[in-house]
Amino acid sequence: MAPTLSLGPLVIPTAPFVIIIGFWLMLDVTERIARQRHLNSRQTYNLVAAALLAGLIGARLTFVGLHWTAYRDNLWGIVWPLTSGYTLWAGLPLGLFAALLYARRHQLPLWPTLDALAPGLLLGFMVLSLADFLGGPGFGKTTNMIWGIELFSVRRHPVQIYELLAGGVALWLWWRLARSGQAEGGAFLGSAAAYSALRLFLDAYRDNAPLTSGGYHIIQLITFAIMLLCLYLLTNRLSLSHNNPEKTDLKT
C-alpha cells in the first residue's frame, strides 16, 4: 500500500519503521500494565526487551551461520545492512528461551507476568499486521465485497486489516477478563485462545500464506495448536480457582 515513506530527501521503508515503533509501544505498554498490576515493572520491561533482543540476535546469527560462506570474507555484513537477513524459525524459540531464562533468574510469578505481557504481545502482532499491510509482501484472496481493496487492478480481502481487528477483539477480551479477575493467567490464556482462533479463521483469506506440501496453511496449524493448549490450560486454571479461590484470586 505504502512501501516507503518520503520525508524530504529521505526515503524510509515503511514496514521496518512501523515495526520499530511497534517494539517501543510494546515495551511501553507492558511496563505500564505491569505497574498497574503491582508487578515489578522494570523486570517485566527487561523480560520483553531480553526476549526481543535475543530473538533478533538469534535470528540474525542463525542466518549468518546458514550462509557463512557469504559472510566469511565480509564480516562487516554481519552487522550491516540490518533490514533483511533473519531466520524467523530460529528467532522465535530463542526469544522465548531468553524470556524464560530471565523470568526464572528473577523469579517472576508465571501467571501474573503472562497476564501483564498479553496486551504488549497482542499489540506486537497487530503492528506486524499493519507493517505487512503498508509495505509487506502479504495480500488477501480476491473478493467482490465492497470493503475489498484494489491492488493492481484486482480487488482483494484486506486480510491484514482483519488481523488488526482480531487483535482489537482479543485486547478487549483481555481487558474484560483482567477486570473480572477470575484466575491468574485467565486474561492471558483467554485472549491468546481468542486471538489464535481468529487468526486460524482469517488465514484462510490470505492468498500467499505459507503452506505445507499438502496445501495446509502453516499458520492455521500453529494457531490451532495454541488455541487448544490455551483452552486446556484455561480450564485447569479456572477449576483450580474454584477449588482454591484464595491462591488464584487476582483481586487481592
Partner 1 sequence: MNTMLEETSQTNDRFRWAALMLLATLLGLAWISYSREPVVDWRQWAGLAEGPIAGYRAPDFVLPTLEGRELTLSDFQGEPVILNFWASWCVPCRAEMPLLERTAIQYRGRVTILGVNNGESRQVVQEFNRQLNLTFPLLIDNNYLVGDQYYVTALPTTFFIDRNGLIREVFTGILNEAILQNRLESLLQP
Residues near partner 1, by CB under 8 A: 3-4, 6, 11, 13, 63-64, 66-67, 69-71, 74, 77, 81, 83-85, 137, 139, 151-154, 197, 200-201, 203-204, 207-209, 211, 213-217, 220-221, 224, 227-228, 231-232, 234-235, 238-239, 242
> Min. distance of Cβ 188 from partner 1 in angstroms?
17
Report the residue number, 85 or 181, with the smaller CB distance to partner 1.
Answer: 85
Report the residue number, 107 or 150, with the smaller CB distance to partner 1.
Answer: 150
Report the residue number, 53 or 154, with the smaller CB distance to partner 1.
Answer: 154
> Which pairs from 176-179 meet CB under 8 Å and 24+ separation?
178/37, 178/115, 178/250
Report the residue number, 107 or 243, with the smaller CB distance to partner 1.
Answer: 243
* Beta pairing partners, 207: none
CB atoms within 10 A of CB 195: 27
> Min. distance of Cβ 7 from partner 1 in angstroms?
12
What H or E segment, with its residue span, contains residue 154?
A: strand 154-156
> Min. distance of Cβ 213 from partner 1 in angstroms?
8
Q: Beta strand pairing status for 154-156 and 149-151? A: antiparallel
What 8-state DSSP symbol labels residue 9?
Answer: T
- CB-side neighbour CA atoms (13 Å) of 106: 18
CB atoms within 10 A of CB 69: 7
> Min. distance of Cβ 138 from partner 1 in angstroms?
9
Report the residue number, 27 or 194, with the smaller CB distance to partner 1.
Answer: 194
Report the residue number, 56 or 101, with the smaller CB distance to partner 1.
Answer: 56
Residue 130 in grid coordinates: 499493519
> Min. distance of Cβ 22 from partner 1 in angstroms?
19
- CB-side neighbour CA atoms (13 Å) of 118: 33
What single string gives the DSSP state of each residue in 59-106?
A: HHHHHHHHTHHHHTT-GGGGTS--SS---HHHHHHHHHHHHHHHHHHT
> Min. distance of Cβ 173 from partner 1 in angstroms?
15
